[in-house]
Amino acid sequence: MTENQTKFAYELVSEISIRIPSAQKHTCRICFDDDLEDDQMFSVALCGHQFCMECMKRYRRGTTRGKCTGCPHYQCESKLTPKSCVNLLTPKLREMWERRIEEESVPVADRVYCPNPRCSELMPSSLNLLIKKMDL
């Protein structure tokens, strides 16, 4: 390769601008914002549906007092877990949700609640058995 060819190649390379594509943008299926980065998205582990963190925070806050919720995608039956939602809930909401899951794991017929009107917490299953034996 001659000196002129080397010079020409150097000039050619210095004029070429390499465009590096930006990170892929995502679209939230709730608010339809289509300019979201990876770190702004929440992905439901079991089904892979993605929503923006803000929509998922609002969704979880609105449903924590109800039954354990699932993926907000239409007709999706995947369940959300407290572990998967750790970034969406305050510690108090997370505790409420965990108690709700514990309560739902006990058959309705076997649930016994604290009789104190200010409490009404679900009693531990060991106490439930003792109370049932006493009722007999």
Residue 17's pLDDT is what?
45
Assess if residue 11 is contained within a domain.
Answer: no
Q: Which long-range contacts (CB under 8 A, 24 or more apart) does 91-100 make?
A: 93/60, 93/61, 93/64, 96/64, 96/65, 97/64, 97/68, 100/64, 100/65, 100/67, 100/68
pLDDT, one tens digit per residue, over 9-45 is: 656 555 554 544 556 888 999 999 988 988 889 888 8
- One domain, residues 112 and 53: no
Q: Which domain holds residue 134?
A: 108-136
- One domain, residues 120 and 81: no
| pTM recorded for the entire structure | 0.53
- One domain, residues 35 and 97: yes
d(CA 64, CA 44): 16
pLDDT, one tens digit per residue, over 76-98 is: 988 887 777 777 777 887 787 77
- One domain, residues 29 and 70: yes
Assess if residue 12 is contained within a domain.
Answer: no
